[in-house]
Structure 1
């Protein structure tokens, strides 16, 4: 009876609201006000946490910051203004304190990934991978399977394929240098005889080809073609396939923008936002990116391979119950490998080259170290030749700190019983995060020049031990990046090969490196001029 009355009253209200434009306007305004005030009222423990008024009242403030692509800078500025705690949404607080990292992300703390990660689950197949799995038990299962593929023995086996793609990259750059030399003899059309190119574009080609080789047994062919072209395969509910091609770099960027922005919105709002033009365009890229992974998995399942690549290891790995991953799980993990193995490498290596070019002392010191260590080396050095070079490691660490490819604070849900974080109590269900970009610029840890690029800071006695608590380029705890060692191997060989082989300058040395943030922070372009050194 009560339920019937409520339904009747609801219909009466709907009829009243639709009876005139004035009534409809009052209704819309009322719904907006209520939807903003309720989250604020339900979080009294956060009423006095400072932050923008919009962040106190609605998740839409953070949605807008993510959409603009400069969230990391906005959050950093807010922490400089307000201090340690900043409210980013009605139930989300950013905590800029290195001592909060272990509490929020560490082993045994019980925090869980928030609803933010649901936006990274592909629409079809709607199966979760290691990255976006929120259930702790399922994450443990998946991590055991995936971690097996990154065992030390596997990483050693990856090196020849990484070096082969680096060799192909330098071969292409050598071609450009030779062409510039020929044209310079005929006339000064190329300034100082340099070859001019967009480093970001070619490093994207390299990164995609490398992860294609490591993960799927075959590169995408971007370095050879000098073009970004990847095969996409869609499957309908009946298994019928439709194949096309796409610009992989563009869609991986748009996928990150879509998911990282939509993930800031409450779950109930996401279907409506997804219909707006900005989101719907990028949703198409989400589907295409899944289609790239689907194409590679289907090719493997249909034709097999003799290669012991990442996909082969995922196919044969078993969980504690002896179960293997199904096809849809393989697609999701292949998708994760594709994103993590390409986007991060290209962004980071591009940033390293840019910052070395703006710090001539650092460039000279690194080249001197490499000249000494690699005087008898092949074109592309081995990992053994470069992995223990002090200044190279300092450059890599400083670049990972200063550029912060993963710059945003990864959100976590406070578990049952609540948690006290840096003196402030957060009840169960609160969302907290620690912003990597801001932590990497903590002057209490890195000194007064924390806002400057300075690889030498890592060579001071005890520096690594001191910086360890505030250095999170791969996150920490049970959700830390499983591919960290492969990434470091790839970066160390790549940067050593390029810096040793070429004299590199920026085309526009006075311009800052423009970056935009989706899920990851990435450069938009990096034009350089190169000549051969050796």
Structure 2
């Protein structure tokens, strides 16, 4: 059919060809709107979004999807049409329906754009395959298993604190780093951008847990990782000590590029994607996807070539069994390790940076947290807080949760396809095949749940508001059977990191009105956070 049309256009004059192309384009987009196969024409939204996926594609490429979708909800109400077949629902009650256990809804083809080595637990859309993978992976992140990873987490938090201690001592002498180091001493404080440092911390922790060795970023104070020049050669020689040609890359930068590419590609129709990959911006993003996969391939290959009895995520992945007693293939293990690298580094670093920012911007909350830390941990000599210590710190949990509410690292509405039989959400029926999503960014700013001061960082609200409403609305790790399997580890990391850092240092912003600038790929990431650090007199 397409070949016949192409031949037809070749035999027509230029003006006629242009006319036919434009007419075809209009019909392709107008007819579905007029026919309205999913019965969603009644929902408001941007005009272009009703006819084409282009609107959402441009929004995603510009890096502020959650904020813009939120503005659309403020303009149009709780139901907003984001694309010809996609409706966003900004109501807390919708969360329990769209993402519920047993409702039959599947992940949309959005997730196909996140597949690189092979499908993992995150981007698997088949229900049975996901159940198989989840059975293998979920036990790794049980509360009991997570405690086994505490020593590695504490090790690298301690390394970060010692690096900041070293720089702080130099800052007191009014010294500064060389150009590119990004730190200086001024006014009795160490001034630095905390984002790169928490990136180094998160990458070294997940490197140790997922691959058996850190990337060495904290020690080097630099964004670096090693990847093979030829990935296929490494895959062919898994488990051997064959020499491999490698190169260094900026892993954090590559990870950011991969997230933006996959997000933007995922909202395009599958038929458009081959063409989009030829465009310069998308071509660069595709290279980032391939390069990031190389980090996992290289790290897993190195680990498998050197057998060890240490307990970490990779060893548990290798030992895991599905319901038939089968283990994962090496390719599957590598794909899951890549997922752990992405999820375990970016989410932790983004959240840590945001929480430090909000505490620096809110001195009252910072002092209250430090009072709790001093009272509960003050007499103990450990530089880094332990799991047992952070369990008894309710205000710490409130500070973390309030940061995750305002800066949900996964802020967008994750798309789900309505199953056979349809789905009724808030008295609105959606037929099979419709794509629905509930944006965390928006429901985390619902004044009915959080109060009229919902834009303020106020941890006290976690003790004042109706807990039932909070529990049904707070969604930092998604909800239902496809929720983040690593949430126990992620929260433990944040507890230890924030408790240890805030116990040792106090933070201020250069400008009290300084905003936390962000850019959103799949995750919503801070672009930087310059803070003034002072070692506390109590230590």
TM-score when normalising by structure 2: 0.94
2-side partners of 1:490 and 1:420: how far apart? Answer: 38
Task: Kindly indicate whether residue 76 of structure 2 is the aligned counterpart of residue 76 of structure 1.
Answer: no
Q: What is the match of residue 531 of structure 1?
A: 534
Q: Is the CA contact (8 Å cut-off) linking 1:71 and 1:517 kept in structure 2?
A: yes
Secondary structure of the corresponding residue to residue 452 of structure 1: coil
Map Cα deviations across residues 433-470 of structure 1 (whole Å, 9 max, x no partner).
0000001011111111122211110122x643331111
Q: What is the match of residue 101 of structure 1?
A: 95
Q: Is the CA contact (8 Å cut-off) linking 1:39 and 1:91 kept in structure 2?
A: no
Cα displacement (A) at 1:324: 0.6
2-side partners of 1:466 and 1:92: how far apart? Answer: 26
Cα displacement (A) at 1:34: 2.4
Task: Kindly indicate whether residue 385 of structure 2 is the aligned counterpart of residue 390 of structure 1.
Answer: no
2-side partners of 1:497 and 1:199: how far apart? Answer: 15
Q: What is the match of residue 226 of structure 2?
A: 231
2-side partners of 1:219 and 1:359: how far apart? Answer: 33
- Structure 1 residues 11-20 or 24-33, which shifts more? 11-20
1-side partners of 2:26 and 2:199: how far apart? Answer: 45
Map Cα deviations across residues 458-516 of structure 1 (whole Å, 9 max, x no partner).
122x6433311110101111001111111111101100111110121123332210011
Map Cα deviations across residues 202-253 of structure 1 (whole Å, 9 max, x no partner).
0000000000111111110000001111011242388376522210000110
Given candidates 474, 478, 481, the residue that maps to 1:475 is: 478
Q: What is the match of residue 22 of structure 2?
A: 29
1-side partners of 2:511 and 2:292: how far apart? Answer: 33
Q: Is the CA contact (8 Å cut-off) linking 2:136 and 2:320 kept in structure 1?
A: yes
Given candidates 443, 449, 452, the residue that maps to 2:447 is: 443
Q: Is the CA contact (8 Å cut-off) linking 2:360 and 2:531 kept in structure 1?
A: no
Q: Is the CA contact (8 Å cut-off) linking 1:457 and 1:463 kept in structure 2?
A: no
Cα displacement (A) at 1:13: 6.8
Q: Is the CA contact (8 Å cut-off) linking 1:387 and 1:489 kept in structure 2?
A: no
2-side partners of 1:258 and 1:41: how far apart? Answer: 32
Q: What is the match of residue 86 of structure 1?
A: 80
- Structure 1 residues 422-431 or 234-243, which shifts more? 234-243
| C-alpha spacing 1:16/1:65, structure 2 compared with 1 (3 Å) | closer
2-side partners of 1:13 and 1:306: how far apart? Answer: 61
Given candidates 401, 404, 410, the residue that maps to 1:400 is: 404
Q: What is the match of residue 151 of structure 2?
A: 160
2-side partners of 1:254 and 1:41: how far apart? Answer: 37
Cα displacement (A) at 1:390: 1.5
Secondary structure of the corresponding residue to residue 236 of structure 1: helix
1:210-249 paired onto structure 2 within 5 Å: 210-233=205-228, 234-236=230-232, 239=236, 242-249=245-252
Q: What is the match of residue 495 of structure 1?
A: 498
Q: What is the match of residue 162 of structure 2?
A: 171
1-side partners of 2:529 and 2:303: how far apart? Answer: 35
1-side partners of 2:299 and 2:432: how far apart? Answer: 42
RMSD: 1.7
Structure 2 unaligned regions, length at least 5: 177-183, 238-243
Q: Is the CA contact (8 Å cut-off) linking 2:359 and 2:507 kept in structure 1?
A: no
Moved over 6 A (4+): none
Q: What is the match of residue 139 of structure 1?
A: 130
Map Cα deviations across residues 12-55 of structure 1 (whole Å, 9 max, x no partner).
87345443221221132123212322332343511121000110
Secondary structure of the corresponding residue to residue 197 of structure 1: strand
Given candidates 325, 328, 341, the residue that maps to 1:338 is: 341
Structure 1 unaligned regions, length at least 5: 1-5
2-side partners of 1:137 and 1:485: how far apart? Answer: 24
- Structure 1 residues 300-309 or 472-481, which shifts more? 300-309
| C-alpha spacing 1:12/1:56, structure 2 compared with 1 (3 Å) | closer
Q: Is the CA contact (8 Å cut-off) linking 2:444 and 2:473 kept in structure 1?
A: yes
Q: Is the CA contact (8 Å cut-off) linking 1:235 and 1:242 kept in structure 2?
A: no
Secondary structure of the corresponding residue to residue 248 of structure 2: strand
2-side partners of 1:274 and 1:501: how far apart? Answer: 48
2-side partners of 1:31 and 1:335: how far apart? Answer: 42
| C-alpha spacing 1:242/1:41, structure 2 compared with 1 (3 Å) | farther
Secondary structure of the corresponding residue to residue 484 of structure 2: coil
Q: What is the match of residue 489 of structure 2?
A: 486
| C-alpha spacing 1:146/1:348, structure 2 compared with 1 (3 Å) | same
Q: What is the match of residue 174 of structure 2?
A: 183
2-side partners of 1:42 and 1:468: how far apart? Answer: 40
Q: Is the CA contact (8 Å cut-off) linking 1:199 and 1:526 kept in structure 2?
A: yes
1-side partners of 2:372 and 2:187: how far apart? Answer: 26
- Structure 1 residues 423-432 or 451-460, which shifts more? 451-460
2-side partners of 1:16 and 1:372: how far apart? Answer: 78
2-side partners of 1:335 and 1:12: how far apart? Answer: 43
Q: Is the CA contact (8 Å cut-off) linking 1:400 and 1:473 kept in structure 2?
A: yes
1:253-264 paired onto structure 2 within 5 Å: 253-264=256-267
Task: Report the count of equivalent residues.
Answer: 520
Q: What is the match of residue 191 of structure 2?
A: 196
Q: Is the CA contact (8 Å cut-off) linking 1:39 and 1:58 kept in structure 2?
A: no
Q: Is the CA contact (8 Å cut-off) linking 2:106 and 2:417 kept in structure 1?
A: yes
Cα displacement (A) at 1:298: 0.8
Map Cα deviations across residues 378-423 of structure 1 (whole Å, 9 max, x no partner).
1111111122212111101111111111110000000001111111
